[in-house]
């Protein structure tokens, strides 16, 4: 039985991971849980799964819960997440949102853990560092993002980069597909959170609306699959049935298809290299997949795609750290209704223009640049 530590157990990916564990109680057990704010849900999870370790954001919550559940080891904050990533388990599921996920991933790599990660920021900000360390460690990075899981499956163990012509990431287009820049001037938070196909957390849903999620995925794919960003394309696929594709040098295109459901990639990562049987309804090719369409992304309206490519074009520089940090804080300001929708991409561009790049960063330098960028964004905006 695989012992699973879940970082972010009360979020969208975390709760669906627990559903997969529920469906396969003879194969998996949850030995660690973590939560930032939803303590009520965390309590229900503790009582159901009886984990060995639990991480909360605050020391106050950890102390209060430790009195209620004396048999559980409680810890808190960033140090607690890093400790949990190194605990005695078979796989760490990192579904944390934002840069909080970088240090736990780094620690888990050093501890030779397999990591099922849905945390894009890990490779966006720390791709060079993480992949360099991974070469000397025994663990594996197993993508949970539907797009990267699709590429991982389409490669099917093929590690000969010379055979790969390009990776093709699919994008739903989000709630504003087909909009022009002028139409985005006054879109609301509520409109941006209405994703047509996927149920996700608020941050990644806004990233989908700005198409920054595809920009981040380009950077992530570049590091994860060791493919230059020039060989990574994005196509808009509104049905979200084809999750991504690999084109080989002989012209063959291998695609992974499925319903827009994150439990598929979660199952694949948890069970890898074996597949886990599911009894859910099969994809209906006569209804859900009867028409599959593809469009070019509008990079003049949704400029985040261009900005991400610019950031990663300067190899091993600090530009992706700035891109990611600026995006995170600007998305939060938009969700708080302090800035407009287009202010996100416009101010990311400003931050990249102002930045003086640094190179070959260690973990402390990445975190320092991240923190500094957030402060500079606040000064710029407010």
Query: What are the domain boundaries of the chain?
Result: 2-144, 148-313
Q: What does the pLDDT look like over 186-231, one tens digit per residue? A: 999 999 999 887 777 899 899 999 999 999 999 999 999 999 999 9
Per DSSP, the three-state class of 340 is coil
Q: What does the pLDDT look like over 84-95, one tens digit per residue? A: 999 999 999 999
Q: What does the pLDDT look like over 333-354, one tens digit per residue? A: 999 999 999 999 999 999 999 9
pTM for the predicted model, two decimal places: 0.95
Q: What percent of the chain has pLDDT over 70?
A: 99
pLDDT exceeds 90 at position 375: yes
Q: What is the mean pLDDT of residues 31-51?
A: 97
Instruction: Give the pLDDT score at 156.
Output: 84
Q: What does the pLDDT look like over 262-305, one tens digit per residue? A: 999 999 999 999 999 998 899 999 999 999 999 999 999 999 99
Q: What percent of the chain has pLDDT over 90?
A: 91
> For 2-144, CATH number?
3.40.50.720
Instruction: Give the pLDDT score at 62.
Output: 97
Q: What does the pLDDT look like over 115-129, one tens digit per residue? A: 999 998 889 999 999
Alpha-carbon span 142 to 266, nearest angstrom: 9
Instruction: Give the pLDDT score at 101.
Output: 95
Alpha-carbon span 176 to 211, nearest angstrom: 10
Identify any residues that bridge with 55 across adjacent strands, giving them in sequence order: 34, 75
Identify any residues that bridge with 28 across adjacent strands, giving them in sequence order: 2
Token pair, residue 219, equals 């950077």
pLDDT exceeds 80 at position 253: yes
User: What is the distance of C-alpha 267 from the center of its chain?
Assistant: 16
Q: How much is the mean pLDDT over the chain?
A: 95
pLDDT exceeds 80 at position 160: no
Residue 268: closest CA among 155, 174, 166 = 155
pLDDT exceeds 80 at position 151: yes
The helix (H) or strand (E) run that includes residue 255 is: strand 253-257
pLDDT band at 144 (very low <50, low <70, confident <90, very high): very high
Residues 6+ apart with CB under 8 A from 217: 120, 145, 147, 148, 169
* 79-111: b (≥16 Cβ within 10 Å) or e: ebbbbbbbbebebbbbbbbbbbbbbbbbbbbeb
Instruction: Give the pLDDT score at 184.
Output: 96
Q: What is the mean pLDDT of residues 131-143?
A: 94
């Amino acid at each position: 039985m695989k012992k699973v530590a879940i970082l972010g157990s009360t979020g969208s990916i975390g709760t669906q991971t627990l559903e997969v564990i529920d469906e396969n109680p003879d194969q998996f057990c949850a030995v660690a849980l973590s939560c930032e704010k939803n303590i009520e849900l965390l309590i229900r999870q503790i009582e159901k799964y009886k984990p060995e370790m639990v991480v909360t954001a605050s020391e106050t919550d950890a102390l209060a819960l430790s009195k209620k559940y004396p048999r559980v080891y409680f810890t808190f904050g960033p140090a607690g997440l890093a400790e949990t990533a190194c605990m005695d388990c078979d796989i760490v599921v990192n579904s944390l949102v934002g840069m909080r996920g970088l240090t736990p991933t780094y620690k888990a790599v050093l501890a030779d853990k397999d990591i099922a990660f849905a945390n894009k920021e890990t490779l966006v900000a720390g791709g060079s560092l993480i992949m360099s360390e991974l070469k000397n460690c025994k663990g594996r990075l197993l993508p949970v993002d539907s797009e990267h899981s699709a590429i991982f499956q389409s490669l099917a163990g093929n590690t000969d980069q010379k055979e790969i012509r390009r990776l093709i990431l699919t994008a739903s287009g989000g709630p504003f597909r087909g909009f022009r820049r002028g139409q985005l001037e006054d879109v609301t938070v509520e409109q941006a959170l209405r994703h047509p196909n996927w149920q996700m957390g608020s941050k990644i849903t806004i990233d989908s609306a700005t198409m920054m999620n595809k920009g981040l995925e380009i950077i992530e794919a570049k590091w994860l699959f060791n493919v230059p960003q020039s060989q990574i394309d994005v196509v808009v696929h509104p049905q979200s049935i084809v999750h991504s594709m690999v084109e080989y040098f002989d012209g063959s295109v291998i695609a992974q298809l499925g319903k827009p459901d994150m439990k598929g990639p979660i199952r694949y990562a948890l069970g890898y290299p074996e597949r886990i049987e599911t009894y859910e309804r099969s994809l209906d090719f006569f209804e859900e997949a009867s028409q599959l369409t593809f469009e070019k992304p509008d990079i003049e309206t949704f400029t985040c795609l261009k900005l991400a490519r610019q950031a990663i074009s300067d190899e091993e520089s600090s530009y992706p750290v700035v891109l990611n940090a600026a995006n995170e804080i600007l998305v939060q300001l938009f969700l708080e209704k302090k800035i407009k929708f287009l202010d996100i991409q416009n101010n990311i561009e400003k931050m990249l223009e102002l930045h003086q790049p640094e190179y070959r960063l260690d973990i402390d330098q990445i975190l320092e640049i991240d923190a500094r960028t957030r402060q500079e964004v606040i000064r710029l905006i407010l």
